[in-house]
Structure 1
Amino acid sequence: MSESPPSAGPIDNSERVHTLDALRGFALLGVFISNSLNWFNGRQMMPREQALALAASPLEIGVSSLFALLIEQKFVTLFAFLFGLGFALQMTRAEGRGTSIVPVYRRRLLVLLGIGLVHMFAIWVGDILSTYALVGFLLLLFRKASEKTVLVWAAVLLFVLPVVFSVGQRVLPVLMDGAAATERAQKATREEDASRRAEYLAGLSSDSVVTSQRANAHYGWAAFSNPGRPILLSIILGRFLVGLWAGRRGLLQDVERHRPLLRKLAAWGLGVGGVIGLFVMALNLAYWGVANPPGWLVWMRIVKDVGIVFLGSGYAAAFALLFQKERWRKVLGVFTPAGRMALTLYLMQSVMSLCLYDGWGLGLVARTPPSLTVLLSLAGFAVQVAFSHWWLARFRFGPVEWLWRSLTYGRFQPMRPVPTAAPAAN
């Protein structure tokens, strides 16, 4: 670890930007609801007919629609923004010490990659940490880029490359093999995917921990060959760059100085993102339960992705503005400890959910409608918030955060807060 300067180390609590911690905790709530509703309860693995049957009542359709409008992908976007913004903060602090961010940041990502891979194959296939770590290395390429360059690349990665990939996946096979052969190949791929999901769902329903986790690892390995993975990587890097731009501008670190811009971002983000979200929701309701919706709906993903970025940005700006008001800070500050130990809580959410949904636990997989899934997520997160308040009243870091920092800096970090010296008596 000799290449790391002696001054490099975790920041003290007094140096933390509490707005970012609270926003990260808020984002973690949305991520938990999203993962629970799409993955942990088995919805992604169920046949379409079974999933629709669980959400057939007006209440469940309403919950699913509101989830798609307000939560789905928006909070994951927030998390990615904050990852890029965190990179900007670390870069600024490294420059303040007169050192390079590269050595420590590279080790930080390697440790995160290891944690993510263990999470993916030993606990839950939907891990995002390993992907964040791999894409995070690409952020290093932009550490000296201008703000304009960062924004241009963000726009290309978010809105241009996904379209190019999508068109290429649909058009090139037709040009090379013909429409009939392409349709046969796509049908075979869909059948293979359905078989793989059914096998995974059967594993999750097993009353054996070994069987369910073996099915998880097998499905996780197959996920690496997903042809849509380049689109995901492009979108994640684009979101990172938006966060990098915001971090360089200091938008969320110095809210008062950027209040006019944040107000515009909140208004445009919530307005444009909300309108697009309502439009997409109306289309989803119009074709709810339709076995073979029209093919042109595939291209609505582009419009949807634009709305997600706008709404995610609007959430971040509105949250930061509200956090400056004392009354709102007391309410939103509840999320701050959860944001400080978000990595621990993210991994804990996976373990809690396996205990709830897998067959060896309570066996709720493929049985809970959207409304119950959301309620279970809210209850579980409330427990996590209480736990984070209790833990950080006694320790400096969450347990996984401590491991991450200790491995990154090559030395054990003190877990107990350092007591401040008492003022001298007069």
Structure 2
Amino acid sequence: MGLNKRIDVLDYLRGFALLGIILVNIGPLLSVEEPSQNSMDASYWRFLYLFVEGRFYTIFTFLFGVGFYIFITRANAKGMNGYVLFLRRIAVLFLFGLIHVRFHPGEALTVYAVCGLILLPFYKINKAVNLIIGFGLLVIIGISAIKILMVVPVMLLGISAGQFGLFEVVTKRVNQIAVFTMIMFGLSAIGLLYQYQYAPVFSEGWSGPSGREAARFIDIGITIGPIVSAFYAGLLVLLLQIQIIQKLLSPLKSYGRMALTNYLLQTVFIYLAGYTFNLFGRVSYIETLYICLAIYVIQMTVSVIWLRFFRYGPLEWIWRALTYLKVPSMR
């Protein structure tokens, strides 16, 4: 494999992760109204916390770990200092995050940059050791249901996956991936059925997603999140082995190739919709889904067209220029 060759499956997975991330992020940004009892809103809220919250963010985090390993390895193979370049890369990412966090509290980029710095020494540690440490920490932190701390083990597992070359030869590992996905499906089904038993009843005086009534439901969701994420990722990788599905989902690849640009522009589009239509505090959960669908169409269409003419997304181009301290060719 060439040193600059993109691994398409990673772009598909990044695009897929972005689809779910916006569904969760849009609620707090638009100050969504609380669901009323026995409404579509209540059903959609449960859907979000069963199948979306913590599932797609985990995939995005894992992929950052994979990219972490690939970036340094390829830079070193080209005779450059991969560590220095990576430090510069996450410093730029942190700056992007500092700007973004002013508009989107709880955004991911600053967290990724800090965790990337913390995990840099693990690049040289044996892949099996990284796998064991990452899995062990994930279990411990997962049981504790501390979402922010789960970034470290998930990212470390991504580094380990990069060390094992998991995504370079996907077509040769279809059987193993199928077995893994089936196991994750079984565990996910058990976990989700258990979580559903604690789904809150929306009644007058309900105190919102952070309220006591929903705490157990949400904590269980955090604990089982990586399992459901693994099932989603495994299923998508298997589906991509079918040529017609790969072609149908090709806009997802373009969406993922411009992941940084599209992630930040999601926030821009949400606020643009909020201010244009005066939606803050006046929009329901189910209505946010319609806004997200519109944003999907706009972003995917622009991503596909943009990448027909340009090599990088606009923010990816800036990120690369500041990382290598030279202007890369855009066309």
Same fold per TM (> 0.5)? yes
The answer on whether the counterparts of 2:251 and 2:301 sit within 8 Å (CA) in structure 1 is no
1:31 aligns with 21
Preserved contact between residue 266 and residue 314 of structure 1 (Cα < 8 Å): yes
* 8 Å Cα contact 1:274/1:307 also seen in 2: no
Whether the 8 Å CA contact 1:343–1:400 is kept in 2: the answer is: yes
Q: 1:141 to 1:232 in 2, by over 3 A?
A: farther
Structure 2 residue 178 is the aligned partner of structure 1 residue 263: yes
Do the aligned partners of 2:142 and 2:222 also contact (CA within 8 Å) in 1?
no
Question: What is the distance in 1 between the residues matched to 2:217 and 2:115?
Answer: 26
| SS of corresponding position for 1:284 | coil
Deviation of 1:299 (Å): 5.8
The aligned residue for residue 284 of structure 2 is 369
Alignment of 1:71 onto 2:61: no
1:387 alignment counterpart: 302
The SS at the match of 1:235 is helix
SS of residue matched to 2:168: coil
Q: Which letter does structure 2 place at the counterpart of 1:30?
A: G
Counterpart amino acid of 1:109?
A: I
State how many pairs are aligned. 326
What CA distance in whole angstroms lies between the structure 2 residues aligned with 1:41 and 1:16? 36
Q: Identify unmatched segments of 5+ residues in structure 1.
A: 1-10, 44-49, 167-230, 417-426
Q: Does 1:239 align with 2:151?
A: no
Distance 1:408 1:95, change over 3 A: closer
Contact kept in structure 2, 1:41 and 1:365, CA below 8 Å: yes
What's 1:130 paired with?
Answer: 110
Q: Which letter does structure 1 place at the counterpart of 2:10?
A: L
C-alpha contact (below 8 Å) 2:18/2:263 kept by paired residues:
yes
**Superposition pairs for residues 245-284 of structure 1, below 5 Å?**
245-284=160-199
Identity of aligned residues (%): 29
Given the superposition, is the C-alpha separation of residues 299 and 64 from structure 1 closer, same or farther in structure 2, using an over 3 Å criterion? closer
Amino acid at match of 1:24: R
- Per-residue deviation, residues 204-241 of structure 1 (Å, max 9, x unmatched): xxxxxxxxxxxxxxxxxxxxxxxxxxx44421011101
- 3-state secondary structure, aligned to 1:51: coil
* Equivalent position of 1:117 in the other structure: 98
User: 1:304 corresponds to which letter in structure 2?
Assistant: G
How do residues 22-61 of structure 1 correspond to structure 2 at under 5 angstroms? 22-37=12-27, 39-43=28-32, 51-53=34-36, 56-61=37-42
Deviation at 1:161, TM superposition (A): 4.2
The structure 2 residue matched to 1:351, chosen from 268, 273, 286, is 268
CA distance in 2, matches of 1:396, 1:382: 21
The structure-2 alpha-carbon separation of the partners of 1:302 and 1:232, relative to structure 1 and needing over 3 Å to count, comes to closer
The 8 Å contact of residues 395 and 415 in structure 1, kept in 2 or not, is answered as yes
Matches within 5 A, 1:186-335: 231-285=146-200, 287-289=201-203, 291=206, 298=215, 303-335=220-252
SS in 1 for 2:170: coil
Residue 398 (1) aligns with residue 313 (2): yes
Verify: 1:103 aligned to 2:84, yes or no: yes
- After superposition, the Cα gap between the structure-2 partners of 1:291 and 1:161, relative to the gap in structure 1 and judged at 3 Å, is same
CA apart distance, 1:91: 3.2
TM-score, normalising length: structure 2: 0.90
| Alignment partner of 1:146 is 2:126 | yes
Deviations along 1:23-67, one digit per CA (max 9) or x if unpaired, are 111111111111113x22214xxxxxx5133xx343222222222
CA–CA separation in structure 2 for the residues paired with 1:26 and 1:309: 15
Extract unaligned runs of 5+ from structure 2. none
Q: Of residues 8, 11, 15 in structure 2, which corresponds to 1:18?
A: 8
- Cα deviations across residues 323-362 of structure 1 (Å, max 9, x unaligned)? 111011012222011111111111111111111124xx32
Shift of the alpha carbon at 1:101?
Answer: 2.2
Measured in 2, the distance between the counterparts of 1:156 and 1:125 equals 29
1:257 aligned counterpart, secondary structure: helix
| Aligned equivalents of 2:122, 2:175: Cα separation in 1 | 27
Determine the C-alpha separation between the residues in 2 that align with 1:278 and 1:325. 30
- Alpha-carbon distance in 1 for matches of 2:214, 2:22: 28
- 1:337 equivalent among 217, 241, 254: 254
Larger Rg belongs to: 1
Deviations 1:171-221 (A, max 9, x none): xxxxxxxxxxxxxxxxxxxxxxxxxxxxxxxxxxxxxxxxxxxxxxxxxxx
* Equivalent-residue separation in structure 2 for 1:386 and 1:65 (angstroms): 30
Secondary structure in 1 aligned to 2:167? coil
> Relative to 1, partners in 2 of residues 1:70 and 1:162: Cα closer, same or farther, differing over 3 Å?
closer
Residue 279 of structure 1, CA deviation: 2.0
Tell me how far 1:99 sits from its aligned partner.
4.9
What residue identity is the alignment partner of 2:112?
Answer: Y
Q: Is 2:44–2:286's contact at 8 Å kept on the other side of the alignment? A: yes
Deviation at 1:375, TM superposition (A): 1.3
- Tell me, yes or no, if the aligned pair for 2:35 and 2:42 is still in contact at 8 Å: no
Inter-CA distance 284–233: structure 2 relative to 1 (3 Å threshold): closer
**Counterpart AA for 1:133:** A
Separation of aligned partners in 2, 1:163 and 1:276: 13
2:171 aligned counterpart, secondary structure: coil
Describe the SS at the equivalent of 1:319.
Answer: helix
| 4+ aligned runs moved over 6 Å, structure 1 | 292-297
